Amino acid sequence: MGVSAQMDPLDFLTNEELLFFFHRKKTEISCIEQPHRLLTQLRDHDLVSEKLFENVKKMRSREQKEKGFYEVLDWVEKKRPQYMHQFWRCVFEDHILQLYPTLRILRNSLLDGTFKLYEKPPDVETLTEEEESEGKGEKGKKKSYTRKRSKDDRSSEDSDDPGPSSASTPKRRKPAKKPSFSSPVKKGDKQEIWMWPIYKIQLPVTCGDKEGTLYRDKLPEGKKCILSQGRWFTPADFEKFAGKEKCKNWKSSIRCRNTPLKKLIEEEHLQCPPMERRKRTCVQKNMRFPVSSSESSSADLETSSSLLEESDSEDFQEQGGRGEGTEFRGRVEEEEEEEDMADLSVFQAPSLPVTCVSLTGTLYKYRFASGSRGKCVRTEERWFTLEEFVKQEPTLTDGHWKKDILCHGKTLNFLLKKKILRIHSLLCECAKCSTQKEDVMAQNNDDECYVCHSEGALVCCDECPQAFHSHCHLPTVDEDSPGEWICTFCVLRNSQQWRDSSNISEQEAFKAPVSQHILHCHCLLLCVYREDIQKVFVEDPRQTVPRYSEIITQPMWLDRIKQKLESGEYQTVGAFVSDFQLIFSNCSTFNRVRFTETCYIINKSPNN
């Protein structure tokens, strides 16, 4: 959905547009302090000749360097006009932007729409004719091909750096168009610009005939977040400023490229500011108002009905604009949840069981970022984002993760309101929110070893979500081996042995040679390792348990079984399984003897 995060935003601008921007800003660029590093960058990318580079390098005073640097930029404009994409990519590289704040400002003005690329500069001939006509006292009479300029037009032109007009000057000027926020979108392109990296911080918005810039990080804080004509507005105030106060629904009246903000909020491209819930005033149908006249009675009824409409409108916006019946039911359910749920202790665990109709999974809170970011639901087959998890349910055609996924009988929307889950900011750059390929791939596998439940350097299976330490897996994994790697469980699942083994009896299985069922033995041992969370049976008990060797004459432990299996000491599957039985019988014997001794000591004590 949307444009890939890897796409260069400069690709959406033509070479002519970048050349126009370069022409307007080359004086500003030439005034930067210590331009040596930038010149070196341009020279290394073959955009500036060695001779020009050396000439500027020899200059000592700041004035000389500014003049020399401007001459270099002027040379680039005249001799390298076809390489504007390459020029701006060099200038906008991270290590250059860190050195020169001016270039960061230029980049923002180019990519966030504040610099108007599509507004052509006035013709020199036109201005000359206007001045001559004004000098002759004919201010009201202008040529038919000139356009009338408003004060805003003049101020915007005066603010730009002086420079020649465009190369082709038409004899007849088209009627002036209303200035609009330029963007890297060609006319007719329907791409969703709010998904582009260049609009990660700001979005161009309109309401009526007013234009502004929405600062995305300020919106969820409830602050003034829209800048228009040098003034800051809240969304509701911007709606009034545009003359749309009768709408009383800024989410629908304020738009980004003809798309209402309500849609962006519903799809979680924007976060809605917190809303203060008003106490509802319920009016019964049979309720009579104490009035002294018919006029006051009708006035009270109108006031009450308007209060109800305003309250319902706010709830409608808060619920994201669902249908009336769904919206009413959702409101009742939420109120019941808030009233009934006093004990939140069941939600304090790091992982929570979740369901979606017939689906079941486990939600890991530390992996959650939003509905579409952070694969946080683990099923037996794989990891899902919440939106992906809902789509797996075949009976839901228009499901939503906030209302259709349940945890202990409560919706995830309830968990969000109680701040048990917290949605990450749209500007978040953590690994869970990242769109980088390696970060997304890393979320497809578990974050801890399947066997020992600890983190570290893990080897990930390419067929299932499981991950292992190289020394925990059986057989041991060679970390340096190239290509895909599949764990023992997936190898067994895909092999013919899995199907053949279901047809033999237990006695036949015990007599079978280990060499023919090595995958089964590996899987069994790995499963027992996994279940021994406290590591009671992993190591030699004689080293840690007092008097163990006095009671148990033939000790056995999991590491010993692993060693014997890998060295080929087991001839049959039965011999392999008997060592597991020996571990458990030793445990039972040791605990029974220790319990008997403890009871004897207690009975012999003087207090008894």
Question: What DSSP string runs through 286-309?
Answer: T-----SSHHHHHHHHHHHHHHHH
Q: Residue 445: which of 502, 479, 487 has the closest Cα?
A: 487
- pLDDT at residue 507, rounded to an integer: 85
Contacts of 145 (CB under 8 A, 6+ apart): 126, 171, 172, 173
CA–CA distance, 537 with 527 (Å, rounded to integer):
13
- pLDDT at residue 230, rounded to an integer: 77
Q: Residue 41: which of 103, 91, 108 has the closest Cα?
A: 91
Tell me if 138 sits within 8 A of 103, measured CB to CB. Answer: no
Tell me the per-residue pLDDT of 382-392, one tens digit each, with 9 for 90 and over: 999 999 999 99
Mean pLDDT of successive 10-residue stretches along the chain, which has 608 residues = 51 80 85 84 87 84 83 88 87 84 81 56 46 43 36 41 38 38 42 61 84 84 82 87 81 85 82 56 39 40 39 38 41 48 80 92 94 92 93 86 92 92 88 87 91 90 92 86 84 72 78 89 94 91 90 93 93 94 93 86 73
- pLDDT at residue 3, rounded to an integer: 38
pTM: 0.46
The amino acid at 149:
R
For residue 63, what are its two tokens? Answer: 């004035």
CA–CA distance, 604 with 608 (Å, rounded to integer):
7
Residue in the structure block whose two tokens are 């939140």: 344
Tell me the per-residue pLDDT of 533-566, one tens digit each, with 9 for 90 and over: 889 999 999 988 998 999 999 999 999 999 999 9
For residue 490, what are its two tokens? Answer: 């997936």
